[in-house]
Structure 1
Amino acid sequence: MLPSNKLLGLAILGLFISVKSAAAAAADADPCARIAGNKTASFQDAKACLDHFKYDKDIAQQTVDTIRKVTNELYVFNDVAASPPTVEGLAIPAVNISYGLDLILDEDWKSDREFQEAVALLLDKVQDAHLSYSPFCYRQFIFWQPIQLNALLRNKRLVANVAYVKNDVWPEAKESWVGCEVTEIDGLEAMDMIVNYAVNNNGESKDVNTCFNNIMNTKSYFHGWDDGADDLGYHRFLPAQEFHNYTMRCPKSGTLPVQDEYDEPFTVQVPWVAQVPPNFQTADSYWASFCKSAHQNDHQNITKRTIHYDLHELKTINEGEVFALNSGGVNIATNAVGNSRGPYIEFIQLTGHNEKVGVIDIQSFSIASQDRQAFTDEFIAGLENFEAKGVEKIILDLSSNGGGDACAGEFIINTFFNSTPDYASDIKYSPFLERVIEKAHKQENTKWIDYKSSGFEGSSWFTQTKEYTRGRSTVKFSQPVSLSCESWDDTVTTKKYHNTKWKSSDVLILSDGRCGSTCAIVASRLRLSHQVPAMGLGGIRGNRMQFASFPGGESDRLSSFLMDLEILGMVDDPDAPAPFPERADMGWTFREVYKPTSSFSGQETDLLEYSAINADCRIYFDDNNADDIKKLWADVAKVILAGQCPLVNDE
């Protein structure tokens, strides 16, 4: 017979084993608990957590109802998107959003994630980066490919190059791979695979070169937004497959890549690795932290007169404070569902033979209201400093600038070239939006009072409509309007600066195409109205590229629109879109902008969003400049000093 102390020990051991078994069983039942607290997780473990949440038809219906209401009533390109014009140089698929939503609702999805991603992908296919749906529940993990690629021009050939490796998420990744050429991905010629992915999986732009640039990753040259939607090596959503096979060839020891002397090719199976967000312990706490909306049970009866929005949650979403992780130093703001917080601008005078060239690196136009004065002061001081130091040529670097405040862009144009008329624009009419705008004018509140049209008082610019053909439909629009910058001017006291130093030919726009929204309109106005030449950066060799993307006009987001409705006391309007039943946001273009014409006609072919405006010249990353932006600017300086990027007349 065993002593009592040994019996007690066995009993404790048995209890420990049973507890441990129970914990293991609980982890099996709760895949989110299995990875909670970890730094990283495998693709399969992250997928199990994200797919743990079951498809709910009521949530799906409420989500689709809101998106349908916004796109039908408020999205200015809804009709033309369903039947777009053919524009040489642009890839514009036809997307009937309402029909697509019907098809999505007809599916019996295996998980809520699959449904939510299908909705996001549908809007992405319109290729208007202003139009987006972001389900924050499924944007908390960051998925990394340990091999990060850029595209370099090497010996007159565009190659996929290993820019850097992420051995912090996958220790098997070797630093020696940096600089190696990737020749095949999943058995396909690497560049063909990358171009195909850009064309079919990136909704950044209607220009495939911009899409191509958007999915590549140059470590030292990135100011842009963290949309995380479809980068080749970085996602905020679950990738389509667990592994990719990379075939690489690396330079022989002691040689440089440009010498084209390689060791034997080899193939590596590279996994997607998930970076796990903090602040959850179980599936239930994951849902509570990242997914559950304060509005989930509201708006069951839209005619109810006691409806109010949770303004704290809307503000949290609107300000981008919804991500548990950032991407390791990259701004987490997004183009349509987030905000930039600076830095905004930098003035750099180049050195050596290029000392007559200055760079104005404008990283964002999303100027916080409290920063407006500093922004304008800094811009004028920078120009004065350039002038004093004898700078004769200016590179205006607008690469990876996601836009922002249109009045900041207006300030830049006017400072360089004096006051110029804004481009004609208009807003799609709906009876619901008419009520919003009339209420805004009565209360003298919200952004809807910031528009004006010559000869029209109050809200009559919106109510006295015009009709134009969009796709296969006749659509009502407001009168042509311009944006008032009175609120900007009220907060800024800036001394006048009159540019007599630099002509249009002394300035060169540099853009990788990821110059979007306000940035796109600023770049287009500089190019079309002031004849400032534009240099495209990167893209697909042999394919003419645009220097701007998603220039549709002006966008709104559901979070900010609902806050406007709360301010105006219109949350109980029967046509008001309901908040999403899960924590999510969507963005859309509500004001379309036309390129300059001799006579305004309202034709869809005159819209900036559906126009191809090509860069005048081109430069590519190479082995010398890809990781040193000052070397890139020095290469651009040689072009501008030699006068080798003249304005091209495409008419």
Structure 2
Amino acid sequence: MKIIQVHSKLNVYLILFVTLLVIVLPPSTAAISCSKVSSALKKNKSVDYNDLKKCLESFPFNAKLATETVDAVLHFLSNYYVFYDRAREDPPSGFTYQPVDLKNELDSIRKKKFKSDYDFTITLRNIIFKLKDGHTSIFNLCYQRFNYDQGLSLYSVVTTDKKKKKKQIIKVLKDSVDSSNNNCEVIEIGGKPALQAIIDFANDTIQYSKDLSVRFNMALAPSKSQFLRELFQQFTLREDLPETSSIKYKLTCPKKKKPFILERKWKITYHDGFDGFSYSCLEQNNENISNGKTSRDKITKSTLSNKFKTSNSEDLKIAHAKELAAGSLYLLNDKSKTGVVVVDEEQSSDEDSYKDYFQELKKHGTKKIILDMSNNNGGTITVAIFLTSLLFSSKQPNAFPTDIILNNLTISKIENSFKTNSTVDDLYNPNVYLSFPFGNHFNSSSEFIGTQKKRTSNLYFDALTSDEKELLKNVSFPWTSDDIIIITNGFCASACALISLFLSEIHKVRTIAVGGLLNDQMSFSTYPGGQIISPDTVSSSVGDKIADVPGKNVLSFTVREAYDFDQNYTAKDVLEYSYKPADCRLYYDEKNVKDPSLLWLEASKILNNEVKC
């Protein structure tokens, strides 16, 4: 009995001792790091790189959740991703990317034991990024909402030396920390020749184009001051934790005698500040946040209702054109009578504005038109059809043929929708589609499904709405294909790509690509794939047993593909995997990178046959 009492007392003492240890011992390094991250965000200060790295890597790897995530991602991509099989093939000549066997690559990470949930998430994300498909990505609502900013804008310039030999260099467009570095040449980045460092980054890291020259442009500052922050300057503005806490740049400046090293740390903030970080990361749970799902295919923009007002943007320099509509419509200050329409997105609310722009140019007696479609992230599919119909109203068809992947679930949904005469606007409802090329309604579900093994028959994209058809009534413009030219920096994406490709391929409108790598041909558009969708939308439509990707990972992917077609309206090449270089090429210099109207003047000379490409 006494022995029992002694043991009982020892147990009490042990409990007290352990309790004291818990109280006295400091919290873990990871907890301290997350606390420091939270503290910095609360005070609206930059987060320390090492604190953030330790914090992100402190979230434990959950093998069960990881397996469920891989299962869900593979399920949706193998059953609905329209390029699942094609991604395994070697790239066509002109494109630069590696083939991706999604099944093998995703299966391979099931066997790995990751150090942290963050490590697993980045590995999964990098597999999807290899596709170089801007519509297809996976985004973590905790880890990928940090912003990493170097405070530098870099750009590429092509110069000509005394021997008239062209050379491509990297320069500082703007240093928001030290303006004395503006216009300096960047000789090295991280000990590597600067140009090569940017090329390697564009090749390995950027996902949004299969063309390396377009990705190269996206690594740097765009040619216009109004741009999408998350899609440009990706070398100095990132959304994934960089490999190092700082980058060393070797600069040479006109006003400084010797080259010098500039070491720049990352300024780190969180997209939604402390509250967002606390909710998404510190209070992490395994539920999906449906209202957090985002799509890169659509962006918001201030309304164009104040059309024909002058822009008061201090940053935008347009010295060689008269502005007719703020940031959107110009007349060149030369004798060519050339107008410029800036098409920077495709939103249905802008259709009447675009119509007004062309009517305004007609009133001014404009002879030629430049369509500047640079930095265009896409938008609504029918707007692409509307714009091509607006310029070439008498031509049919007015869009590319498309198709959708078929499986047992989607076939069942297609057949049921046709049987019930459903009019619900749904991806797998044949009643909301028209057949290519003549725009007829489908007479049966089997006609919609067609004779292809894994794809539907050829479909139009989306039919024009009644409002769009009304806008197109009694429209007549004097311009032919020879009077129009398209200029882009290669990032004319999604719906923009479909417009520019249709005008180029079908109506033979000439194209100009700006920037990119010296002496390489370059695309004037990127990821025309077709249509972006999320797993929950597909799942709710067809009744899939898997509702979505678990956790905080938001998956999106291409669900419909578009094809080129020949004179007999027979579908040919898949546009996403077709290399379509521009007819003509221009490069940036110290002046035109800051003033796009200088590029417009060069485009006008090409358009008016004053110079050859």
TM-score bracket for this pair, using the shorter chain length: 0.7 to 0.9
2:104 is paired with a residue whose SS is helix
Residue in 1 that maps onto 2:433: 451
Opposite residue 512 of structure 1, the aligned amino acid is N
Distance 1:433 1:225 in 2: 37
Residue in 1 that maps onto 2:411: 434
Is the contact made by 1:343 and 1:364 (CA closer than 8 Å) also made in structure 2? no
Opposite residue 57 of structure 1, the aligned amino acid is A
Residue in 1 that maps onto 2:215: 211
Residue in 2 that maps onto 1:628: 595
Alignment of 1:540-555 (within 5 A): 540-555=517-532
Counterpart among 332, 340, 344 of residue 300 in structure 2: 340
Matched, 1:268 2:262: yes
| Cα separation, partners in 2 of 1:274 and 1:214, compared to 1, 3 Å | same
Matched, 1:477 2:455: yes
* Shift in Å, 1:633: 2.8
Distance 1:596 1:478 in 2: 16
| Cα separation, partners in 2 of 1:165 and 1:559, compared to 1, 3 Å | farther
* Shift in Å, 1:284: 6.2
Distance 2:223 2:503 in 1: 29
Matched, 1:80 2:58: no
Matched, 1:43 2:65: no
Residue in 2 that maps onto 1:420: 396
Matched, 1:245 2:244: no
Distance 1:224 1:41 in 2: 23
- Superposed CA deviations along residues 481-540 of structure 1, whole A, max 9, x for unmatched, are 113325x32577425253342111111101111111111111111001111000001100
| Cα separation, partners in 2 of 1:437 and 1:222, compared to 1, 3 Å | farther
2:508 is paired with a residue whose SS is coil
Alignment of 1:306-325 (within 5 A): 313-314=289-290, 316-318=291-293, 320=294
Matched, 1:534 2:518: no
| Cα separation, partners in 2 of 1:285 and 1:415, compared to 1, 3 Å | closer
Alignment of 1:107-126 (within 5 A): 107-126=112-131
Alignment of 1:85-96 (within 5 A): 86-96=91-101
Opposite residue 70 of structure 1, the aligned amino acid is F
Distance 2:143 2:377 in 1: 23
Residue in 2 that maps onto 1:310: none
| Cα separation, partners in 2 of 1:263 and 1:490, compared to 1, 3 Å | same
Matched, 1:578 2:547: yes
Counterpart among 103, 127, 134 of residue 98 in structure 1: 103
Opposite residue 233 of structure 1, the aligned amino acid is T
Alignment of 1:354-365 (within 5 A): 356-365=337-346
Matched, 1:594 2:571: no
Q: What is the aligned residue count?
A: 551
* Shift in Å, 1:407: 0.8
| Cα separation, partners in 2 of 1:451 and 1:154, compared to 1, 3 Å | same
Alignment of 1:287-306 (within 5 A): 287=281, 291-292=284-285, 294-295=287-288
Distance 2:63 2:277 in 1: 20
Counterpart among 455, 460, 463 of residue 446 in structure 2: 460
> TM-score, normalising length from structure 1?
0.78
Counterpart among 183, 187, 193 of residue 183 in structure 1: 187
Residue in 1 that maps onto 2:13: none
Opposite residue 611 of structure 2, the aligned amino acid is Q
Unaligned runs of 5+ in 1: 1-17, 168-173, 253-261, 296-312, 321-332, 468-475, 647-651
| Cα separation, partners in 2 of 1:263 and 1:492, compared to 1, 3 Å | farther
Is the contact made by 2:534 and 2:555 (CA closer than 8 Å) also made in structure 1? yes
Is the contact made by 1:225 and 1:400 (CA closer than 8 Å) also made in structure 2? no
- Superposed CA deviations along residues 616-651 of structure 1, whole A, max 9, x for unmatched, are 1111221112122334333433443444357xxxxx
Alignment of 1:142-221 (within 5 A): 142-155=147-160, 156-167=166-177, 174-218=178-222, 220-221=224-225
Larger relative CO (CA 8 A, sep 6+): 1 or 2? 1
* Shift in Å, 1:600: 6.4
| Cα separation, partners in 2 of 1:144 and 1:281, compared to 1, 3 Å | same
- Superposed CA deviations along residues 342-394 of structure 1, whole A, max 9, x for unmatched, are 55795422343257121111111144xxx2xxx22212211111111122111
- Superposed CA deviations along residues 190-220 of structure 1, whole A, max 9, x for unmatched, are 1112112212222211111111111112374
* Shift in Å, 1:341: 4.0
Counterpart among 231, 234, 239 of residue 237 in structure 2: 234
Distance 2:332 2:86 in 1: 49
Opposite residue 424 of structure 2, the aligned amino acid is N
* Shift in Å, 1:32: 2.0
Counterpart among 374, 383, 386 of residue 411 in structure 1: 386
2:92 is paired with a residue whose SS is coil
Distance 1:217 1:22 in 2: 51
1:426 is paired with a residue whose SS is strand
Residue in 2 that maps onto 1:644: 611
* Shift in Å, 1:586: 1.6
Is the contact made by 1:31 and 1:283 (CA closer than 8 Å) also made in structure 2? no
| Cα separation, partners in 2 of 1:435 and 1:288, compared to 1, 3 Å | farther
Counterpart among 110, 132, 135 of residue 140 in structure 2: 135
Distance 2:442 2:208 in 1: 36
Residue in 2 that maps onto 1:33: 35
| Cα separation, partners in 2 of 1:160 and 1:83, compared to 1, 3 Å | same
Opposite residue 396 of structure 2, the aligned amino acid is T
Distance 2:485 2:250 in 1: 39
Distance 2:448 2:472 in 1: 35
Distance 1:150 1:157 in 2: 14
Distance 1:76 1:581 in 2: 22
Distance 1:611 1:102 in 2: 29
- RMSD of the TM alignment (CA)? 2.8
Is the contact made by 2:145 and 2:239 (CA closer than 8 Å) also made in structure 1? yes
Residue in 2 that maps onto 1:62: 68
Is the contact made by 1:518 and 1:551 (CA closer than 8 Å) also made in structure 2? yes
Is the contact made by 2:515 and 2:588 (CA closer than 8 Å) also made in structure 1? yes
Alignment of 1:19-30 (within 5 A): 25=27, 29-30=31-32
Opposite residue 456 of structure 1, the aligned amino acid is F
Q: Which range moved further: 27-36 or 541-550?
A: 27-36
Distance 1:50 1:219 in 2: 35
% same residue: 25
Distance 1:193 1:119 in 2: 24
Is the contact made by 1:144 and 1:273 (CA closer than 8 Å) also made in structure 2? yes
Is the contact made by 1:380 and 1:497 (CA closer than 8 Å) also made in structure 2? no
> TM-score, normalising length from structure 2?
0.83
Is the contact made by 2:497 and 2:526 (CA closer than 8 Å) also made in structure 1? yes
Q: Which range moved further: 27-36 or 50-59?
A: 27-36
Distance 2:210 2:407 in 1: 27
* Shift in Å, 1:123: 0.9
* Shift in Å, 1:464: 3.7
* Shift in Å, 1:283: 7.8
| Cα separation, partners in 2 of 1:224 and 1:268, compared to 1, 3 Å | closer
Matched, 1:391 2:366: yes
Is the contact made by 2:491 and 2:526 (CA closer than 8 Å) also made in structure 1? yes
Is the contact made by 1:33 and 1:281 (CA closer than 8 Å) also made in structure 2? no
